[in-house]
Structure 1
């Protein structure tokens, strides 16, 4: 039985349904330029820090726009979408409550900027129960590099092997695996075709009974 002492969540597509919203933003950006968003481009951008993701879009379609222009435009589009479409992923509320009751230290590591993450998580009153949030703008190397999860382990004063990480994408899961954490993949409709080789578990959703068996074995499910 692994010696699990803390739990770290990715945000986009793991806690919040934002991974399903970002393609709408990308599609609108490209539509304004007479272009269409493909699934291959969506997959190539998913889970990466915004500057990296937008550089992928620029290279993919040979756009003349700068990263800064695309970021500003996306923020305006995203703000409108958030007001009507932002929500929590299935099973998160129940699992988060159970982990709090079990006294696990909890944290979030996201490719989004820290300010954006705090703002979005704050809408659901999640941040007060977190030890910390690490944003993609606070590390030198974004996911799939393991830096962000190694930084989390350092802040928690634990070895990576003592930390469970929940990730929804191939990019994020690779970061968790390469950091040496106990990586649990939770694919959504947006990432079911991703590769999660090396993950300790591939869960159906955050409702998956195997998650509770691992982290809260005395809890009836």
Structure 2
């Protein structure tokens, strides 16, 4: 299967490069269980990709929690400080990032995380994340006015490439419904690597859906294949 060739690649982080979505679930459940509530996968699917204040408000509204956004973020921050340093790379991530870097394919990070939570998550993986010359932290970047599913973060991230590639030359890697919608709204192709529980029918906009980054074939998008030295 062949798609339109690209020259630049943008990556989401949570749930795609790192297993942090599991950690988010653990933290959110700990908080909402105090109020007799359950953080379901259905709710998780709706908030994935949102900025911190957005997902806090979404959870509060959906579960009718007696908390302000500030209260919720304060409660979760303490737990995140404990768990985020345990983040692990997802299968195939290191191989792909090192491959693209070796072949001088410009890569950028486009995460809804704040720079503070990013630093906690990558503490044991700095050598890998240093491969990204261009990083955009949606919850900390004033240029990212709206979170996913709006296209802001990918347009801001792409604008950081010195070559200023047109959107159609950018390929996005995502794991969330909101992320896919954001990438498509930015007129970019998007490879989705979702949670195995997600119904693929919910993301008809995805250019390609894979079970793992390990399955990705760079040459399908005009990028150097793994066989190339």
* Length-normalised TM-score, structure 2: 0.88
Query: 2:72 corresponds to which residue?
Result: 70
Query: 1:121 corresponds to which residue?
Result: 122
Per-residue displacement from partner, 1:78-124 (whole Å, max 9, x unpaired)? 222234x4101111011111111111111111111133224423530
Of structures 1 and 2, the one with the larger relative CO (CA 8 A, separation 6+) is: 2
C-alpha separation in 1, matches of 2:149 and 2:42 = 17
Shift of 1:39: 2.2
Change (3 A) 1:68 1:45: same
C-alpha separation in 1, matches of 2:49 and 2:203 = 14
Change (3 A) 1:181 1:215: same
Change (3 A) 1:211 1:204: farther
Change (3 A) 1:36 1:47: same
Structure 2: gaps (5+ residues): none
Using the TM superposition, name which of 131-140 and 207-216 deviates more.
207-216
Structure 1: gaps (5+ residues): none
Correspondence for 1:200 among 204, 207, 220:
207
Contact kept in structure 2, 1:169 and 1:191, CA below 8 Å: no
Query: 1:154 corresponds to which residue?
Result: 159
C-alpha separation in 1, matches of 2:31 and 2:219 = 40
Equivalent pairs, count: 220
Per-residue displacement from partner, 1:56-80 (whole Å, max 9, x unpaired)? 1111122221111111111111222
Change (3 A) 1:192 1:122: farther
Using the TM superposition, name which of 210-219 and 136-145 deviates more.
210-219
Query: 1:48 corresponds to which residue?
Result: 50
3-state secondary structure, aligned to 1:129:
coil
3-state secondary structure, aligned to 1:207:
helix
C-alpha separation in 2, matches of 1:40 and 1:218 = 36
Contact kept in structure 1, 2:6 and 2:223, CA below 8 Å: no
After superposing on structure 2, the runs of 4+ consecutive aligned residues of structure 1 that deviate more than 4 Å are none
C-alpha separation in 2, matches of 1:173 and 1:218 = 24
